[in-house]
A and B are shown apart, each in its own frame.
Chain A
């Protein structure tokens, strides 16, 4: 139904070209529910907006039922009628009532009679639970209610596919579920949908396929099980496990321990780690830097990774130009090693292109 080939989009940001989409390829078939996930700024929304030409791609091909939407001769309004779009900011027509919002399209574009369109609108509003507010204006509604009306407005045009651009991102947490419920229901009815979302649980439940976008490409795609349970690529894994990181680079013995401890504390507080864990991480860092690591050999890259999924805090150290083992080093006294081992478990050490890579999990 929708085929995208080699899609790229370059924005001009302050005179500097900025490549949002590099090379996107995909197919979306009828009846599919595609969730597009990925870190912010990786082009998810831009990709969606290219599909209905709200953004003009720089190069590539988008075929809708075989018709190239990028062709200058393409009848854009007609193609767009096949695709509904639900916006993050709702974008209801502020000067029209709820009922008019849902009936204006059919009357003006589909040639539906006023009466007929009103009946259809009421039916759609009942479906999304908004019939009561038919005569209200958008300004009178809450965010969740607005978004449900926006979905009804989409449906009024009887689209073949609906594009959801972060439909719940602008909502209060309390209103997210009412909107998601409506979308779930549409999925059940077999509506073809492409949803850009940050609601992972929802994406997993509702989707037939998941696109994981990273750095302007569809980095990995697959069924919800593949993506959520067995992501095959590191960026996907990090994203799925919701890894948060804190980096330090230590070049010599003249490091600023207090500064690093401060940052570490801030990091722990931000992701609600326990005080004990935070203290252990700080002591571990101090111990490693003061005695264990051979800092005179070369720069050490230290990274704390915290997974919001399984709540583990990892420490990763990459010691450049170092051929000797870091942890099993005879020069290091036993006491220091004992202390280190007291703070963490699962210590692994590997050799990687002249660097030693040590990972450990903080208790």
Chain B
């Protein structure tokens, strides 16, 4: 058993690690719908965006899914490139932290309204009157402020007292953040608040039932619900079946794709910097800053950026500090690296001179200020910023005569100072050339690490350093620093989470996912209630289904031709229809007006299905018992029934149980489709959580583990039962 569990764990971890995010292509960012014509686009089935694509861009690849959370999962996992969705769906949602980015908006949009039945016109009129009222008295603006314009994550439902009298308004809800979602175990969101306030206005109570968006219209048509509250956009097609209220919101469309710069989640966050192994350039201002600010961090000092990069790559450090301009280079070369968003501090780069070089120092400062005044400085900086290491390096003529100016530089990966085809290039190199030109002296460059350059400067083997020297107090006492040569932001670079091989980050990720998906807003309670629903439906279906199976089996074995044919017909029909379709037919057609709850309809549908499959097992099991056993029982004087119960059944059960067990387990798993008829079972609950956290993987994995445990427990239970009655 241990082996089985570890195998399972291994499979799960492969799944998780396989969920890495694809790196963006890095091509031009799309700005209009035409730019994504070759991409894989996902939309919600039947949404305005879906219809717009089908009508106007039929040649596009349009994949259709059922909910916003599925869209996000598809884009995040790389199964699709862009998603098109109502722009309000992402109100208050932090796309960046998901590695996503909103690229452009589309004028495709529509009025969002509640949907009523045509024979409930009074209710719709009453809602319209209510809407007019709250628009006038400012309540509407308050609601919009709470759920759409404001910080949705921290918004809570206000307390709306409802009278419990009278028929409740049965509200069909399809989860759609931030219009309707579950928060702390209760329905919350823009439309939910509107609905509750309307109920208060109308003096009625409310009962919410969670449907799939695709089946919600059918639910309205079959009187399962009184009103659709599902962020539904008014369209002429829908209006044929649904009486829409006045619009209570207008939404455009937004196109969202992966953020190529943020193709991942950092292994550590900004807060973690104080407790990690942090790499800095030794002796730089970052060194000083890190020492002061991150006293809890283990500081790793290295000469040269490439050593730091190497240290991060090999896992010697968890993060390194870098200038922002440099970081672009580093990130471009390491797809598994990622920069933390927040700027740590602002720094300036200066040229460095020895105390004896005061004259040079002064003329360098003069040159800088004249360059800045003339605007030439901006031109040079822009060129290097824009084109990076591909920027054109001007050719400087060689001045003859005077002794050469010995300038220390530190080449690296940046556009400030690097070597290209044997020529030193870059922003600071260009400045150094310009400076030599103003001095009328030729240039000799010395390339070394920063600390090496400092000691060379001290011993007088170079005249100045024109590189990424940053000003520190200790240094400024001994050396002369020029005016600000370049403003830089210092940021931290770390590895992306998914590619990290370190166990700590993997498990800390699990812990975080666990917190957001299970603990936060008491989501575990939802999972428990979903589990309960799944358990109730599974167990009752198995019990009832076994009875149905026994009945069908009895009919088949009765020897009465008509009974046999009827049973055979039922079995063939049920086995020939997909379970989901069968369930929907039971819900929307057969028991449409029965007033039975979805749970019971599901139990009946699954019981019939289970019975159809198990009846044939029973039959072969019973027929598999030797006829002589029956004869022996009869000859002893047992009645037919007595013979069957005492001798045939126990032997048949032993033969049937292994297959029966498989069928029962597959029934548990099959119940995962009951979400289609508005039952919040385990799978549905995971959908709801996913729609809220947009975390595709963790809820699915948690739920799959729970299903696995359920199946395993049921298997054990039946095994125990088998060993009791068998030989």
Cβ–Cβ contact B635 & A94, under 8 A: no
B638 adjacent to A93 (CB under 8 Å): no
Knowing A87-B628, A87-B631, A95-B726, say if A78 contacts B637 (CB, 8 Å): yes
B632 contacts across to A, CB distance below 8 A: 85, 87, 91-93
Task: Provide the residues of chain B in CB contact with A105, threshold 8 Å.
Answer: 636-638
Docked complex Cα distance between A81 and B638 (Å): 8
User: Pick the contact of A77 from B638, B654, B727 — CB < 8 Å?
Assistant: B638
Does A24 count as interface, using CB distance less than 8 angstroms? no
B residues 693-727 touching A (CB-CB < 8 Å): 725-727
**Residues of chain A within 8 A of B651, CB atoms compared:** 94-95
Interface stretch, picked from B45-53, B104-112, B246-254, B639-647, is: B639-647
- Contact indicator A80/B726 (Cβ below 8 Å): no
Please tell me if B650 contacts chain A, counting CB pairs below 8 Å.
Answer: yes
Q: Within the assembled complex, what's the spacing in Å between the Cα atoms of A157 and B633?
A: 12
Q: Report chain A residues within 8 Å CB of B646.
A: 104, 108
Q: Is the CB of A89 within 8 A of B628?
A: yes
CB distance from A85 to the nearest CB of B (A): 4
Inter-chain CA distance A81–B636, complex, in Å, is 6
Q: State whether A91 and B626 are in contact (beta carbons under 8 Å apart), knowing that A54-B635, A84-B635, A105-B637 are contacts in the complex.
A: yes
CA A109 to CA B635, docked complex, whole Å: 12
Cα(A105)–Cα(B647), bound, Å: 11
Any B CB within 8 A of the CB of A236: no
Q: A54-B631, A89-B628, A108-B642 are in contact. Are A95 and B636 (CB under 8 A)?
A: no
> Is the pair A93, B637 in contact by a Cβ cutoff of 8 Å?
no
> Which listed residue, A81, A87, A94, A95, touches B637 by the CB 8 Å rule?
A81
Give the CA-CA distance A356 to B626 in the complex, in Å: 55
Most B Cβ at <10 Å: residue of A83, A90, A91, A109: A91
- Cβ-defined contact, B654 with A95, below 8 A: yes
Determine the interface band of chain A, counting residues with CB < 8 A from chain B.
20 to 34
Indicate if B629 sits at the interface (CB-CB under 8 A): yes
Within the assembled complex, what's the spacing in Å between the Cα atoms of A80 and B639? 10
**Distance in Å: Cβ of A49 to nearest Cβ of chain B:** 8
Which of A54, A92, A93, A137 interacts with B634 by CB under 8 Å?
A54
Interface string of A50-77 (1 = CB under 8 A from B): 0010100000000000000000000001
Question: Is A157's CB under 8 angstroms from B726's CB?
Answer: no
Q: How far is the CA of A91 from the CA of B630 in the complex (A)?
A: 9
| A318 interface hit (Cβ, 8 Å) | no
Interface check A153, CB cutoff 8 A: yes
Q: Are B629 and A93 in contact (CB under 8 A)?
A: yes
- Docked Cα-Cα span, A78 to B636, in Å, equals 9
The A/B interface has a contact count, at CB < 8 Å, of 65
Bound form: Cα–Cα A305–B84 in Å: 98
What A residues does B647 contact at CB under 8 A? Answer: 93, 95
Hey, which chain A residues are within 8 Å of B634, CB to CB? Answer: 54, 77, 80
Q: In the complex the two chains form, is B654's CB within 8 Å of A80's CB?
A: no
Q: Which residue from chain A places its CB closest to the CB of B725 in the assembled complex?
A: A95
Q: Is the CB of B639 within 8 A of A77?
A: yes
Q: Which residues of B contact A87 (CB under 8 A)?
A: 628, 631-632, 635
Most chain A C-beta atoms within 10 Å of own C-beta, residue among B628, B633, B725: B628
Q: Whole-angstrom distance between the alpha carbons of A283 and B632 in the complex?
A: 55
Given contacts A87-B632, A89-B628, contact A109 B637 (CB under 8 A): yes
Smallest Cβ distance from B725 to chain A, in angstroms? 8
Judge whether B637 and A77 touch: CB under 8 Å: yes
In Å, the complex CA distance between A139 and B633 comes to: 18
A87-B632, A89-B628 known; A95 vs B638 contact (CB < 8 Å): no
Chain B residues contacting A83 (CB-CB under 8 Å) are 635
Query: What B residues does A91 contact at CB under 8 A?
Result: 626, 628-629, 631-632
In the assembled complex, the Cα of A90 lies from the Cα of B651 at a distance in Å of 17
State A232–B417 Cα separation when bound (angstroms): 130
- Give every chain B residue within 8 A of A104 (Cβ-Cβ): 646
**Interchain CA distance A78-B651 in the complex, whole Å:** 25
A80 with B636: CB separation less than 8 A: yes
State the CA gap A105–B626 with chains docked (Å): 19
With a cutoff of 8 Å between Cβ atoms, the chain A residues found around residue B725 in the complex are 95
Minimum CB–CB distance for A171 against chain B, Å: 15
A92: min CB distance to chain B, Å:
7
Contact B637 A157 (CB under 8 A): yes
Which of chain B's residues have a CB closer than 8 A to the CB of A90? 628
A91 to B635, CA, bound (A): 11
Give the docked Cα–Cα distance between A78 and B634 (Å). 10
Within 8 A of B (CB), among A127-174: 137, 139, 153, 157
Task: Select B636's contact among A89, A109, A137, A139, beta carbons within 8 Å.
Answer: A109
B residues near A85, Cβ cutoff 8 Å: 631-632, 635
Residues in B with CB closer than 8 Å to A108 are 638, 642, 646
* A54–B727 CA distance with the chains assembled, in angstroms: 28
Chain A: which residue is nearest B642 at the CB level?
A108
Query: With A and B bound together, what is the CA distance between A157 and B634 in angstroms?
Result: 13
**Which residues of A have CB within 8 Å of B654?**
95
Residue of A at shortest CB range from B653? A95
A-B residue pairs in contact (CB < 8 Å), sample of 15: A52-B635, A77-B638, A85-B635, A89-B626, A93-B633, A94-B626, A94-B651, A94-B727, A95-B650, A95-B654, A95-B725, A105-B637, A108-B638, A139-B727, A157-B637
Q: A77-B639, A90-B628, A95-B654 are in contact. List 18 more A-B contacts (CB 8 A).
A: A52-B635, A77-B642, A78-B637, A80-B634, A81-B637, A83-B635, A84-B636, A85-B635, A87-B631, A91-B629, A93-B632, A93-B633, A95-B726, A105-B636, A105-B637, A105-B638, A109-B636, A137-B727
Q: Give the 10 A-B CB pairs with smallest separation, nearest first.
A: A81-B637, A91-B628, A91-B632, A85-B635, A80-B637, A77-B637, A105-B636, A95-B650, A89-B628, A95-B651
